[in-house]
A and B are shown apart, each in its own frame.
Chain A
Amino acid sequence: EAQVTQNPRYLITVTGKKLTVTCSQNMNHEYMSWYRQDPGLGLRQIYYSMNVEVTDKGDVPEGYKVSRKEKRNFPLILESPSPNQTSLYFCASQTGGSYEQYFGPGTRLTVT
């Protein structure tokens, strides 16, 4: 089954404690993205990757890091989480230049 998986699905952590949210896709897609979704602000792109070792900032990259060492994986790293990073996070993938994105199930992060 074609899918994007994220782990963990739910995470509660404290300010400053480094965390990683994993994302994996099995569709051999070149493009992968991370979004955060907040009430009244919609889906905002954090980082995206056009292929292995190629990443770029989206609209709200501050406080986040990413890496793309393998085509299927695109982890999101919060090195020092803060309460304003409490949000619902989605990973997505698509074929290069395509319009359609496939989204993961989401990770709900709470930073206290």
Chain B
Amino acid sequence: QKEVEQDPGPLSVPEGAIVSLNCTYSNSAFQYFMWYRQYSRKGPELLMYTYSSGNKEDGRFTAQVDKSSKYISLFIRDSQPSDSATYLCAMNRAGKSTFGDGTTLTVKP
């Protein structure tokens, strides 16, 4: 069983929709919870991170962590075509990251 499981997708939504991306994990030792965004033909880049349960907001993006359920989510409000990418959740413990498989999102104009 994988330590990190990510909803596989792909997701296709109309512009302006609210998007929810989700991951579950099994290792309670994970300290940091991150979302990376990967555009086609590029390397992943860090989008958001959090280290505690609750919500963290950054513009149109909200990262949510529920440590009791071992569940993390990324919400994108007012989605834009430029948000079309693969989103990877990642969990970090002592400097080592474990990644989900990624969810590919397409936002249609």
A positions within 8 Å CB-CB of B: 4, 31, 40-43, 45, 48, 90, 92, 94, 96-106
How far, in whole Å, are A97 and B44 apart by their CA atoms in the complex?
A: 19
**Total contacts A to B, CB within 8 angstroms?**
49
Q: A42-B101, A43-B102, A99-B51 are in contact. List 10 more A-B contacts (CB 8 A).
A: A31-B95, A43-B44, A43-B88, A48-B96, A90-B44, A94-B95, A99-B32, A99-B92, A99-B97, A101-B97
CB-nearest residue of chain B to A108: B41
B window 31-57: CB within 8 A of A: 31-32, 34, 41-46, 49, 51
Given contacts A31-B95, A96-B95, contact A103 B44 (CB under 8 A): yes
Per CB-CB distance, the 8 closest pairs between chain A and chain B, nearest first, are A103-B43, A42-B101, A99-B32, A43-B99, A99-B92, A97-B95, A100-B46, A103-B44
B positions within 8 Å CB-CB of A: 6, 31-32, 34, 41-46, 49, 51, 88, 92, 94-97, 99-102
Given contacts A99-B32, A105-B42, A105-B43, contact A41 B95 (CB under 8 A): no
CB-nearest residue of chain B to A103: B43
Query: How many whole Å from A90's CB to the nearest CB in chain B?
Result: 5
